[in-house]
Amino acid sequence: MEFLSAFAKAVLIPGSRGFLLVGLTGGVMLLLAGRRTQAWGKRWLAFLAGLYWILSLPVVSGGLVGLLSLGYAPIESAAQAEGAEAVVVLGGGAATLRALGAELSLLTTEAALRVLEAARVQQLIEARWVIASGGTTAEAGVVTPESLPLQEALIQVGVPGDRILLESDSHDTHEQALAVAALLQARGVDSFVLVTSPDHMRRAVLSFRGVGLDPIPSPAPIRSETLPAPVSTFLPTLRSLEESAGALREVLGLGYYALRGWL
Whether residue 114 is found in the same domain as residue 199: yes
Look at residue 229 and tell me if it is in a domain.
no
pLDDT at 101: 86
Whether residue 59 is found in the same domain as residue 145: no
Distance from C-alpha of 218 to C-alpha of 123, rounded to nearest angstrom: 14
pLDDT digits (tens, 9 = 90+) for 101-111: 888 888 999 99
Phi and psi torsions of 103, nearest 5°: -140, 140
Among 81, 187, 171, residue whose Cα is nearest residue 135: 171
Whether residue 209 is found in the same domain as residue 250: no
Residues 97-118, mean pLDDT to the nearest whole number: 92
pLDDT digits (tens, 9 = 90+) for 27-51: 999 999 989 999 999 999 999 999 9
Whether residue 192 is found in the same domain as residue 78: yes
Structural domains counted in the chain: 2
pLDDT at 231: 77
Whether residue 119 is found in the same domain as residue 198: yes
pLDDT band at 12 (very low <50, low <70, confident <90, very high): confident
Q: Is the pLDDT of residue 192 over 60?
A: yes
pLDDT band at 3 (very low <50, low <70, confident <90, very high): low
The chain-wide mean pLDDT, for the chain, equals 93
pLDDT at 138: 64
Whether residue 97 is found in the same domain as residue 158: yes
Of all residues in the chain, the percent with pLDDT exceeding 90 is 81
pLDDT digits (tens, 9 = 90+) for 196-246: 999 999 999 999 999 999 999 999 999 998 988 877 888 999 999 999 999
Q: How many CB atoms lie within 10 A of CB 105?
A: 18
Whether residue 8 is found in the same domain as residue 81: no
CATH number at residue 178: 3.40.50.620
Query: Cα 89 to chain center, whole Å?
Result: 11
Residues 70-99, mean pLDDT to the nearest whole number: 94
Among 132, 133, 105, 106, residue whose Cα is nearest residue 119: 132
Bridge partners, residue 94, by sequence: 107
Residues 180-204, mean pLDDT to the nearest whole number: 97
Look at residue 228 and tell me if it is in a domain.
no
Q: Which domain holds residue 243?
A: 2-67+234-260
Distance from C-alpha of 176 to C-alpha of 201, rounded to nearest angstrom: 13
pLDDT band at 4 (very low <50, low <70, confident <90, very high): low
pLDDT at 1: 55
| pTM, entire model | 0.92
Whether residue 32 is found in the same domain as residue 145: no
